[in-house]
Amino acid sequence: MDQADVMDLVMRLRAVEDELAIRNLAARFTDAVNERDAGAFRQLWSHDAVWEIGPPLAARAEGIDAIVGMMARLLAPRTLFIQLTHSGVVTFTGEDTATSRFTEREHEKGQQDYYENLAVYRDVIARGPDGWRFKRRYYEYRYLDSSAFAGAVFDPGPSPEASA
């Protein structure tokens, strides 16, 4: 195995790691909002990132502090908020930049309000000193149903001691 073969192997491994890191970024976003973990949520963004939710429930935050604040403000009134992230595609646009799209669904119940939606997250991601981070996320609504739903909401409460 000569030097060129080794370099090829290293590059291929790095491509795999990069793809998994970006998929994990989207998965960690969903986990952080579903677990309402502001600390984990903060680690997903570059310092100057933009988080934007499109119409009809438009909202926008620029900069990491504003983004974390928007997450807290959106979640506070909701007794139920679950985001479901489905498959997505990742496209590298440079050695340290990529875009991605993930198909999403959310279920929400507030004090007197409800919704479920279908949407696509359109992302710009960049590799910084601490790894891949969102530069921009744009939540593009495709469907929104605000009808009341009948089911019961459960507060997570304590999990069994040995579980994750």
Which spans of this chain sit near its own copies (rule: CB under 8 A)? 1, 3, 6, 9-10, 12-13, 16-17, 19-20, 23-24, 26-28, 30-31, 34-35, 50, 52, 54-56, 80, 82-89, 91, 99-101, 103, 105, 107, 116-118, 120, 122-124, 136, 138, 140-147, 149-154, 156, 159-160, 162-164
The pair of structure tokens assigned to 28 is 């960690």
Spatial distance between the Cα atoms of 107 and 89, rounded to a whole number of angstroms? 23
Q: Among residues 129 and 160, whose Cβ is nearest to its own copies?
A: 160
Nearer to its own copies, 33 or 68 (CB): 33
Any idea what the Cα angle at residue 92 is, between residues 84 and 127, rounded to 5°? 80
Measured from the CB atom, the residue of 74 and 99 that comes closer to its own copies is 99
Find the shortest distance in angstroms from Cβ 85 to its own copies. 4
Nearer to its own copies (CB atom), residue 65 or residue 146: 146
Six token digits for residue 137: 């996320």
CA angle 57, 62, 64 (to 5 degrees): 115
Task: Please state the closest distance from residue 76 (CB atom) to its own copies, in A.
Answer: 17
Q: How far apart are CA 138 and CA 129, in angstroms?
A: 23
* Cα separation values, 52 from 24, 94, 137, Å: 20, 23, 6
What is the closest distance, in whole angstroms, from the C-beta atom of residue 87 to its own copies in the complex? 4
Question: For 72, phi and psi rounded to 5 degrees?
Answer: -65, -40
Name which of 76 and 152 has its Cβ closer to its own copies: 152
Q: Quote the tokens at residue 50.
A: 């933009």
